[in-house]
Amino acid sequence: MKKLLGVIFGSIVMNAWALDAISLEKQYATQANQASSLARGEKFFQSKHGKDWSCASCHKSPPTSDGQHASTNKTIAPLAPAFNTKRFTDEAKVNKWFKRNCNDVLGRECTPLEKADVMAYLNSLKK
């Protein structure tokens, strides 16, 4: 019973811990076992990858105002947390969109370090 409660409590704490952009950056860096880098994150965000897109193709550079999806033309709210307080508050949505967008841009899922670096860059953008 104690072990089960520990697992449940640990899961709740982990989910509560990852409900903001700074915590997500730390979580991904911990998973990567390496410190995040703002410079690597900015370069990654702006660079075109395997699928001829970059993150900035849809989210703009810097991602501090509305972007536009490259193929659907749908408006995308600002990605930087300082400019959109709703960003990075739901871990399930963050994981869904990282998976989808990394596949669109890279042709694969992002590594934890790539996620940590992008989060470091996004967290550095201030009003």
Tens of pLDDT, residue by residue over 101-115, are 999 899 999 999 999
Note the pLDDT of residue 39. Answer: 98
Q: pLDDT-based confidence at 17, cuts 50/70/90? A: very low
Total length of the chain: 127
Over the stretch 26-78, which tens digit does the pLDDT of each residue have?
999 999 999 999 999 999 999 998 778 899 999 999 999 999 998 899 999 99
* Domain regions of the chain by residue span: 2-124
Q: What is the pTM of this model?
A: 0.83
pLDDT at 12 over 80: no
pLDDT at site 13: 45
Cα 100 from Cα 125, distance rounded (Å): 23
pLDDT of residue 52: 83
Tell me which CATH code domain 2-124 carries: 1.10.760.10
Residue 33: which residues within 8 A CB-CB, separation 6 or more?
Answer: none
